Amino acid sequence: MQEATQSHLATSLEAISARIARLGISLGVHLDDEGTLVDLLARPAACPVSIERRSVNSTALAPPTTERRVAHLKEELRALVVLRYQLESLSVKNQGLDATRMLLNQAHRHLLDQGFKPGADGWPVQPW
């Protein structure tokens, strides 16, 4: 059971990190810079939607803009970084630091094997 949980967590961390890297690349956000990550996390979370757009007459709404799309993608990027940190924290709590470090290194190696540059997903380039 423990091995299946670790495998699932490693797969999840890899998928989240890959999405983070892709969003960072497409938005031009340099996640290999710690200051950029701090700025990203310091951004306030988006407010909940007060009116569901899909339930309103779509002809009355303004068409989506590029700026709106970029804002949504930046919010997704921020949320995924927070989610990954939460998963890492829970893993340390439940499985210990060494097991978590092993899972994170494994997920990071898979990203590098897929052609991502070191640090593209915000993972520290220096070993820890």
pLDDT of residue 86: 94
CA 109 to chain centre: 17
Say what the pLDDT of residue 44 is. Answer: 81
What residues does each domain of the chain span?
Answer: 2-44+66-113
Per-residue pLDDT in tens (0 to 9) along the chain, 128 residues = 467 777 888 889 999 999 999 999 999 999 988 888 888 888 887 776 666 666 555 555 666 778 888 888 999 999 999 999 999 999 999 889 999 988 888 888 889 999 999 888 888 766 55
Give yes or no for a contact between 100 and 91, defined as CB atoms under 8 angstroms apart.
Answer: yes
Task: Please state whether the predicted TM-score (pTM) of the whole model is above 0.85.
Answer: no
Residue 68 tokens read as: 């709106």
Tell me how far CA of residue 107 lies from CA of 76, 78, 84, 99, in angstroms: 20, 19, 12, 12
